Structures are given as structure tokens and as C-alpha cells.
Amino acid sequence: MMKNLKYSYWTSTIEAFKKNKLALFFLYTIIGLIAFIIIQPYLPNQKSPVAIYIDKATGFQLINRPPSKEFWFGTNSIGQDMWARIWAGTRMSLLIGFTVALWENFIGLMVGLVWGYVRRLEGIISTIYNVLNNIPKTIILILLAYTLKPGVLTIIFVMCITGWLDTARLVRNLVVIIRDREYNIASRILGTPGYRIAYKNILPYLVSTLVLKISLSIPAAIGYEVFLTYIGLGLPVGIPSLGNLINEGRGYITVASLRYQLMIPAIVLSIITVSFYTVGNAFADASDPKNHF
């Protein structure tokens, strides 16, 4: 009665994703944003994010100038160009976000594979997992960030240390399922290539879960960067990042004319995080076979 419609997991996932107009919009936003910040320094008339600009007439630093034709996003409290700083900061925050997301999921994948496959190490890794899982993440973050020298690598390292746990457990559970099927007597007798069936079913699930986790790790990492900067353990002040910019602008919220120094980085950051979050969730829904009809 119902013909076997040709079903390809990935095609169906992409189709389901495409139906979500909002997610598509945000996806284009992300792509557009990334493309832009890569090109931005090479566009004509771009200023340096760290250079301090001086008013030629008075000799004073161009402090706290609101957005104008010269400085599209205005200047900050020591005369730096906000437009350049925002995009430099976005580059930095995205770099941190992507690096952390990729690394912690990579580590999680590796650990998960070993955990699930190598029986001898299963006990040890399980214990380590349980212990680390019970330690409040913030404590480790703060302690490590404080002991190590502030810098980009420190921040990335610190965030990766705790982020791999979830992915590791997920991967390990899947590996265990495959491993058990391999020894499944029935499958051996019937001669079904258990391996192949397991791979076909589980691999797509694994890949889509990883993609989901990576896309949600990015806004989380950016959030942590803001947090660490808030408590003074973030990047050194000299390196522009969205966390730093927000911190610098925080004090100005009460002064209407200076509010742009907080609003602009806050809006840019929010657009980034909302985009990734929406796309990530939309992908999760799209890759769920229940939604493939």
C-alpha cells in the first residue's frame, strides 16, 4: 500500500531544516557576519582597533565621541575607534567560541570512544567522569583562570577542561550500543552484518548530535567569556573581545550619550548568540527522524 519512499537521512534533515524560515534567516546572518568580519579589515578606510585617535585641533584624545561619520560606532573612553574594536572583538570572541566548541567536542568524542570501546579503561574513566561531573564547573573555571596567566590560550584551555564531559558520555553510550550488537548472538547466527546496520543507524545520529553540541557550545563559550571578564579573569584589557567591550561599556549605561558603548557590543553579542542557539535547536529538530514524516 504505502510504497517505500526513498529515504535518505541527510536529505530529509536538510529538507526539514529548510522549512524553518527563522532558522534559515539566522543561518544566513551567521554566514554573513563571519564573511563580513573576515573582510572588514581589508575594506577601505578601516581604522586600527587599538590605535588612539587624537583631535588634530586640540591635541586631546578623541574620548567618548558618539557615533559620527568619522567614527561609525563612536569612540571609547581612551579614544579608540569603536567600529574597529567591535569587529576585532567579534573576531576574537568567535575565534574563542569556535575553538572551544570544536576542541571540547573533539576531546569528548575521543574520550567517549575509548571509554566505550576499551573495556579495561571503562572503570577508571567512569570514576573520573563521576568526580569531575560533581565538581561545580564555576569553581574549576575560576581557580584555573586565576592561577594561569590571563590570555587567549588560558581562556580556551579553561573552558575546554569541563566542556567535554557531556559529549563523552553521549559518545560512550552509543559506542556501547554498537559494541553490544557486535556480540549479539542472534545477529551472528542470522548473518546480518550487525556492524553495518549499527553504523547506518547510529552514525548519523552521532554526527547530528555532535553538530548540535558544537553549535550550542559556541554561545555558551561566549557567555563564559563574558562571565570571566566580569570577574576580572578574562582576556587582558589590551585585546578587544566582546566580553571586554561589554565590561568597558557597562559603567556608561546611566549616561544616555555614552550608552552606545554598551548597547552596541551587547546587541552584536546577542545577535550572535541568538543566531547560533536558534540554528542549533532548529538543526536538532530537523535531524530528529520523527520530524521527517
Q: Which stretch binds another protein (CB under 8 A): 48-56, 112-120, 160-168, 225-233?
A: 225-233
The CA-atom distances, in angstroms, between 186 and each of 110, 206, 266 are 30, 25, 58
Closest CB to another protein among residues 183, 293: 293
Nearest of 220, 265, 225 to residue 88 by alpha carbon: 265
User: Residues 222, 235, 245, 258: which binds another protein (CB under 8 A)?
Assistant: 222
In the bound complex, what is the minimum distance in angstroms from residue 226's beta carbon to another protein?
Answer: 5
Stretch that binds another protein, among 28-36, 43-51, 80-88, 265-273 (CB under 8 A): 265-273
Cβ nearer to another protein, comparing 194 with 249: 249
Q: Is 102 in the site for another protein (CB under 8 A)?
A: no
Which of 1, 57, 189, 190 contacts another protein by CB under 8 A? 1
With residues binned 3-state (H G I as helix, E B as strand, rest as coil), the percentages for the chain, rounded to 5, are 75, 0, 25
Given candidates 250, 255, 257, 288, which one binds another protein under the rule CB under 8 A?
250
CA distances (Å), origin 21, targets 16, 28, 63, 95, 282: 10, 11, 43, 27, 10
Return d(Cα 236, Cα 266) in angstroms, integer: 19
Give me the least distance between CB of 195 and another protein, in Å please: 29
φ, ψ dihedrals at 122, nearest 5°:
-60, -45
The DSSP call for residue 59 is -
Residue 66 sits at φ, ψ, to 5 deg, of -65, 165
- Dihedrals φ, ψ of 59, to 5°? 80, -5
Binding positions for another protein, 121-180, rule CB under 8 A: 130-131, 134-136, 138-139, 142-144, 146-147
Q: Which of 72, 106, 199, 227 binds another protein (CB under 8 A)?
A: 227
Residue 278 CB, shortest distance to another protein, in Å, is 6
User: Of 42, 60, 183, 293, which one interacts with another protein (CB under 8 A)?
Assistant: 293
- The binder of another protein chosen from 24, 41, 277, 285 (CB under 8 A): 277
Query: Is residue 4 within the footprint of another protein (CB under 8 A)?
Result: no
Contact between 255 and another protein by CB under 8 A: the answer reads no
Give least dist CB 233 to another protein, A: 8
Whole-number Å distance between alpha carbons of 93 and 105: 18
| CB-based contacts of 231-236 (< 8 A; 24+ apart in sequence) | 231/142, 233/142, 233/145, 233/146, 233/150, 234/145, 234/150, 234/155, 235/92, 235/150, 235/151, 235/152, 235/155, 236/150, 236/151
Q: Which of 18, 253, 255, 257 binds another protein (CB under 8 A)?
A: 253
Q: Is 277 exposed, middle or buried (0-12, 13-18, 19+ CB in 10 A)?
A: middle
What is the binding site for another protein (CB under 8 A)? 1-2, 5, 130-131, 134-136, 138-139, 142-144, 146-147, 219, 222-223, 226-227, 230-233, 246, 250, 253-254, 262, 266, 269-270, 273-274, 276-278, 281, 292-293
